[in-house]
Chains A and B, each alone.
Chain A
Amino acid sequence: MDRRAERALARRRKARRGQAIAVVSTVVVLGGLAALVLTSPGWSEVRETFFDWEKFKEIFPEILVGFWLDIRVFLIVEVAVLLIGLVVALLRILRAPALFPLKLLATVYTDVFRGIPTILLVYLIGFGVPALELSGLPSEPVVLGGIALALSYGAYVAEVYRAGIQSVHRSQRDAALAVGLTEAGALRHVILPQAVRRVGPPLLNDFIALQKDVALIAIIGVAGEAFRIAQIDASLDFNYTPMIAAAMLYLVITLPLARLLDHWERERGKRYS
């Protein structure tokens, strides 16, 4: 056998050995974990309380319907978040003196709404706004919850946009001005398009987090929301399986998004190496 074939064979053997080791170690570790869990003293209780198949079958359709509400809230709120974030980021970046009070407001907004836990915001807005008893203000919990989420995530996204815009090198602005664009034109045609491409992955990250945090609207009593339905049923029958069902539905959405995010970041790494 010539040298090249020898080397190829050795490489193949090494690869196969590597794969075999991987399989064995996976089986051992997962098997070990499974054994640990399944033989623990409280396992049968936990299994009955968290993994009750009958209960799962019973409650799943209702939770699925509730999850549809989650998805709708998520889509609407995400659009609002992207808009709020962009407006606030631009206010913070632009330097026109006339915008100063708005700029100040934007800074206060991002500091405050990133500084307060989202769950608190949902609670404060969900219960505080109706307490003001001003006519014309929304009072439906799902709307108030959506507003709280939009304000909270809008602040994070504004910072993502701002970082994205500032990450576009100053020389791009110089070049844009040099070809005869105005400041506004430079922002619109040169800086923002580049910033938007960069902020894709961090935005998707926030997107995934928002999808999960939609569950927070349950605490202000939004009827028909998946987590809420799970909570209510759990408290009625003292069985947590509905929570597992709700969790699985969340995974159905967030897992593919997380994989997409990974893929996207890898692609970006290749392009701008």
Chain B
Amino acid sequence: MRGGAAQVPGAPVLEARAVTKSFGEVEVLRGIDLAVREHEAVALIGASGSGKSTLLRCIDLLEDIDDGDILLDGEVITDPGVDTVGVRRRLGLVFQSYNLFPHLTALQNVVIGQVWGRGISRAQAEQEGRALLSRFGLGGRENDHPDQLSGGQQQRIAIARAFAAKPRAMLLDEVTSALDPELVGEVLAAVRDLKETGVTMLLATHEMSFARDVADTVGFLHEGRLVEHGPAEQVLSEPREPETQRFLRRLLDAHRA
């Protein structure tokens, strides 16, 4: 599969067309149509189980979809015969529970995909890795193991690890949900940093303020369907669809309580 910059000019970086996915009897995604343009940050909001994580995992080819297509730079990546490993090397996925490799140091976590995946020389990968860790405020921590670090630090390392491959898009799966409240800020700052440098991203999140802050557009997933998708400010303040309204109201009540 040809890699590199967008093949079809003007084509979105990421596109989901009528994506359908079930786990056994349960239909988790029911025909999702979604596009993420270059430099755009799209936030996905919705209740747990609405399919946000599943969609991200499907895009990164960690799950097979049942129907529909997913495209990266205009090329279908969900067909049989596609180089799935190559696709994953062009995407960066950050997990809710960080999933750092516990037997490796912070720096080793960041470089492992580059050295053994993309065949970059260790020296170069480490140099770039150090720069990344520094950028996210982890300069002195490169030789620490994950169990010596806080959740916020671990998640920032995870972001650095995903970004080290200079991916076409970053996929962020509820990256602050597992963190203690006081640690959320540092991670959000890292994501904001990426946004400001123009990184294309699709992020699933619970944090409405974060969505408002970082995202260009917001999509609301409800029971496997993308019920509403529009500019962030509009969807979050004046949602058009009743389901969206209900969801946001419940969230607001919960915050107030």
| Chain A residues in the interface with B (C-beta under 8 A) | 171-172, 174-182, 185, 189-190, 193-194, 197, 271
Contact = CB atoms under 8 A, between A and B. Distances in A.
B89 interface: yes
A180 B114 CA distance: 8
A194 B165 contact: no
Contact of B112 (A171, A174, A179): A179
A189 B111 CA distance: 12
Contacts, number: 60
A176 B112 CA distance: 9
A181 B101 contact: no
A177 B93 CA distance: 10
A180 B117 CA distance: 5
Contact of B117 (A171, A175, A181, A194): A181
Interface of B: 57, 60, 62, 85, 88-89, 91-93, 95, 97, 99-103, 112-114, 116-118, 147, 161-162, 164-165
A171 B95 contact: yes
B62 A174 contact: yes
Contact of B118 (A172, A180, A189): A180
Given A179-B164, A180-B114, A180-B118, 13 more contacts: A174-B99, A175-B101, A178-B62, A178-B92, A179-B162, A180-B88, A180-B117, A181-B116, A182-B117, A185-B116, A193-B103, A194-B101, A271-B147
A179 B108 CA distance: 12
Contacts of B92: 178
Contacts of B112: 179, 181, 189-190
Nearest to A193: B103
B165 A175 contact: no
B62 A177 contact: yes
A171 B91 CA distance: 17
B99 A175 contact: yes
A19 B125 CA distance: 58
A178 B116 contact: no
Contacts of A271: 147
